[in-house]
Structure 1
Amino acid sequence: MKRKDIVDLIHKISEPTISEFGFELVDVEFVKEGSSYFLRIFIDKPGGITIDDCQKVSQVVSEKLDEYDPIDIAYYLEVSSPGLDRPLKTDKDLNRNLGEDVEVSLYKNFQGKKKLVGELLYFDGDFIKIIDSELGEIEIPRKIISKVNLAVIF
């Protein structure tokens, strides 16, 4: 099974259980690091995730994975919070963070920059609009965006 298929299946298997706990499934990764494989499940909730939350989800999802047995190689299961500077990968992520400061990394220069930071104002299928401190209100074509993260500003 391809990694993308594994990720999609894990998402489908684990999302209902995670939702029952009142948490949101933010992302699933299946990656090889060195000689080991890791299945990472990122969860969140208003106010943040605790270690106990991760342990509960890990236990239940582990049981589901044993039941379905979708991965035929040895791997480590990790359940965690996505972190402060997590990538915003979906429109749902972007919508939840309207009005927040984001860091937008670009594949190529756009108006002289490859990285922009500003308040997320709007997005659609083609553009993301932010207020950049130097450029002001700016619409960035999504096709040149490599990554959008929450900005961590101290």
Structure 2
Amino acid sequence: MAASNLSQRRDLQLRITELAEKIAESMGMEVLLVEIKGEGKRSVVRTFIDQPGGISLDDCEKFSRRLSVSLDVEDWIPFSYVLEVSSPGIDRPLVKEKDFLRFCGKTARVRTRIPYDGQRNFKGKILSVAEGRVRFQIEPEKQLEISIADIEKANLIADLSLK
């Protein structure tokens, strides 16, 4: 994808995120992440929402209807797309500083925009969060601090062990 198309897609993603956040706030919800995936007829606008106590299928349907109508009215998206609204699921995306704070002590998979210690993909336990940076335990004797601005994608890794 050309740089100008990438920039246009990021701008569109920001506009959709702002609109989705207004709708979510009015419904007592929070937008975790808006993604635009694919190209042409295979494009998907995916929105992850949450609220205290969790998200039900009914919550997703109500939010989806409101967002769909608003996107149709705004008419910003210059291609056909499928709108998907989802709960965060067990591999919850981590985007904002408060997401990392909430899940301190949990394990996450992280991909960075730039290399740290010569690599961009990490798996580690979230140790601390401060001033826009997250400290991870990535090996028994190795910690790594990453700027949240440098994180391209981060997701919780579900702990499915029986305790």
Fold-level similarity (TM above 0.5): yes
Q: CA RMSD in A?
A: 3.0
- 2:64 counterpart residue number: 58
Seen in structure 2, the aligned counterparts of structure 1 residues 15 and 116 have a Cα distance that, compared at 3 Å, is: closer
- Which whole-Å CA distance do the structure 1 matches of 2:39 and 2:55 have between them? 25
Aligned residues: 152
Distance 1:50 1:72, change over 3 A: same
Deviation at 1:3, TM superposition (A): 1.0
Q: Determine what percentage of the aligned residue pairs are the same residue.
A: 34
Deviation at 1:144, TM superposition (A): 7.5
- Preserved contact between residue 32 and residue 93 of structure 2 (Cα < 8 Å): no
| SS class of match (1:29) | strand
TM-score by length of 2: 0.74
3-state DSSP of counterpart to 2:24: helix
**Aligned pairs for 1:95-106 within 5 A:** 95-104=101-110
TM-score by length of 1: 0.78
| Match in the other structure for 1:40 | 46
Task: Decide whether the 8 Å contact of 2:49 with 2:55 is kept in 1.
Answer: yes
Among candidates 131, 140, 145, match of residue 145 of structure 2: 140
Gaps of 5+ in 2: none
Whether contact under 8 Å (2:41, 2:81) holds in the other structure is no
Choose which of 88, 91, 110 in structure 2 pairs with 1:85. 91
